[in-house]
Structure 1
Amino acid sequence: MEEVCGLLFEISSKKRLRILIEAQKQSLRISHVSKMLNITTAEASRHLNRLSNVKLVRRDNKGLYTLTPFGRLVLILLPSLIFILQHRDYFMNHEVFHIPYKFLGRIGVVSGGVLCDNAMTCFSRIEVMLREASEYIWILSDQIPASMLQTIMEKIRKGLEFRFIYPEKFTLLGSKPIPCFQRRTLPKITLGLIITEKRALVAFPYIDGKMDYIGFIGGDPEFHKWAEELYQYYWKSSKPEKSCFNRHKADQ
């Protein structure tokens, strides 16, 4: 535990963290670090020595500092910690532990999305997502707002693939018949996912279990892949339903 505390203390320094990130790109000399951080060579040497002492970097016989294999591994794992620290207030009020551990362990990739400021902003961005989709729309949610349903129906009629995972007891309100699409059910919906071929959105519920429709949205490839794989996990875990809704209700 003492070693863990010592490591976290060393990388808590913004300057040393920046050195590590730069060392991931290229080998560093003391003079390079001094110029990059606008500090004296003596201070640069001190930072590098501290990183060397915890085996994050090492100095070769040419005086160049490079990441150690251990240092590279730390940097791979660090984004998740940085991400949750940046959104500490959000994660104080939202539940994430219902998702499988293999996805929770990669939650740092969600930093590739942007947290919406409010529900109106989030819904507006979702509308753009849906309008821009040309290949597929996958949704996992306890509801679809009526304002989005029309766009989705138009896309389905044009041949776009639409998948929807929803609660077992679900009523889809509307005055128009719903085109056929792939759909499955779960006993309970514990988060929101909307994925197109271009972007993804993930919205975690509040701690009390209520859904929050404000989430992280973006087109970063790693974030998109994470969201897509998470959706596929729930798709495989869900119960297949008939491919068509009737006019009003998903289940009778």
Structure 2
Amino acid sequence: MEELSKLLFELSNEDRLRILNVLRESPAKLTALASTLDLTVQETSRHLSRMTKADLIQKGSDGAYFITAYGSQLQEILPPLSFLIKNQEYFMTHTMSNLPREFISRIGDLVNAELTDNAIVLFQHVDSLISRAIEYVWILSDQALSSTFPLLEQSLERGVEFKVVLPADIEVPKLPEEMLPDFSKYRGNLMEPRHLEKVSHVVILSESEAILALPDLDGRLDYLGFRIEDSIGLHWCHDLFVHFWDIANPVALG
């Protein structure tokens, strides 16, 4: 534990993390690093000395510093910590503990996700996602999201593919008949519904963006969560949806 404490102390300094990021791209000499990071040469030298003693970096024969294999591998585990620290308040009241383990280990892929701590705003993002989708919209949700039905129908008319995973005991809110689209005519073509015994997460994604909401500490979904637009984060959401899609049961549309 003492060694871990020492390492965490070295990594707790923002300037040292910035140095690691620069050296990960290419080796650099002291003065170049100081200039790039807008630090004094003295400050930079002090950081480099500490990082060298911790085996995070080494100095080459040409005077340029480079990241060690050990330092490079440590960097691989920093994004998950960065994601949690960046969204500390969210994770004081929400949990990822019931995600499949492989996705917890990859949670750093969401480091660029944008937190939305207002459910109304998150639903607005969902509407926008559905409206802008060109190829597909995949939905994993604990509720039918009836407010999106008109947008879903418009997207289906445009040829957008939909995959939907809902709880087995889902109850669709009663709506006036004219507001309830006949999704059955798209069944087997553009609309594929499946059911899970229980849905504990919200994942809504298209080819260009995604929405993710995790449960609160009591296991309830309050639709506070994240908007993801970068390719790595989208790949994480894509894989998570596919995980649940593959274990869900096909159902008929009425």
**Same fold at TM > 0.5:** yes
| TM superposition shift of 1:36 | 3.2
| TM superposition shift of 1:178 | 2.3
Matches within 5 A, 1:154-233: 154-173=154-173, 174=175, 175=177, 176=180, 177-179=182-184, 180=187, 181-233=191-243
Which residue is 2:19 aligned to?
Answer: 19
Amino acid at match of 1:137: V
Amino acid at match of 1:21: N
| TM superposition shift of 1:134 | 1.3
CA deviations 1:112-161 (Å, max 9, x no partner) are: 22111411211111111100001111000011332211111221233221
Cα separation, partners in 2 of 1:40 and 1:135, compared to 1, 3 Å: closer
Which residue is 1:94 aligned to?
Answer: 94
Amino acid at match of 2:88: R
Which residue is 1:249 aligned to?
Answer: none
Which residue is 2:146 aligned to?
Answer: 146
SS at match of 1:22: helix
Using the TM superposition, name which of 11-20 and 34-43 deviates more. Answer: 34-43
Which residue is 1:61 aligned to?
Answer: 61
Cα separation, partners in 2 of 1:135 and 1:54, compared to 1, 3 Å: same
CA distance in 2, matches of 1:80, 1:63: 33
Structure 2 portions without partners, runs of 5+: none
> Moved runs in structure 1, 4+ residues, more than 3 A?
36-40
**What is the identity percentage for the equivalent residue pairs of Structure 1 and Structure 2?**
32
Using the TM superposition, name which of 59-68 and 116-125 deviates more. Answer: 116-125
Using the TM superposition, name which of 24-33 and 221-230 deviates more. Answer: 24-33
Which residue is 2:83 aligned to?
Answer: 83
Q: Is the 8 A contact 2:137 2:207 kept in 1?
A: yes
Q: Is the 8 A contact 2:167 2:199 kept in 1?
A: yes
CA distance in 2, matches of 1:96, 1:131: 29
Amino acid at match of 2:206: T
Cα separation, partners in 2 of 1:133 and 1:38, compared to 1, 3 Å: closer
CA distance in 1, matches of 2:129, 2:12: 37
Which residue is 2:107 aligned to?
Answer: 107
Root mean square deviation of aligned Cα: 1.4
CA deviations 1:88-109 (Å, max 9, x no partner) are: 1111111211111111011111
| TM superposition shift of 1:79 | 0.9
CA distance in 2, matches of 1:143, 1:101: 25
SS at match of 1:147: helix
Q: Is the 8 A contact 2:144 2:171 kept in 1?
A: no
Question: Structure 2 residue aligned with 1:237, among 240, 247, 250?
Answer: 247
SS at match of 2:98: coil
CA distance in 2, matches of 1:38, 1:134: 44
| TM superposition shift of 1:229 | 0.3
Amino acid at match of 2:89: D
CA distance in 2, matches of 1:146, 1:10: 50
Using the TM superposition, name which of 179-188 and 86-95 deviates more. Answer: 179-188
Using the TM superposition, name which of 114-123 and 175-184 deviates more. Answer: 175-184
Structure 1 portions without partners, runs of 5+: 247-252
| TM superposition shift of 1:228 | 0.3
| TM superposition shift of 1:41 | 2.4
CA distance in 2, matches of 1:190, 1:21: 36
Amino acid at match of 2:107: I
TM superposition score normalised by structure 1 = 0.92
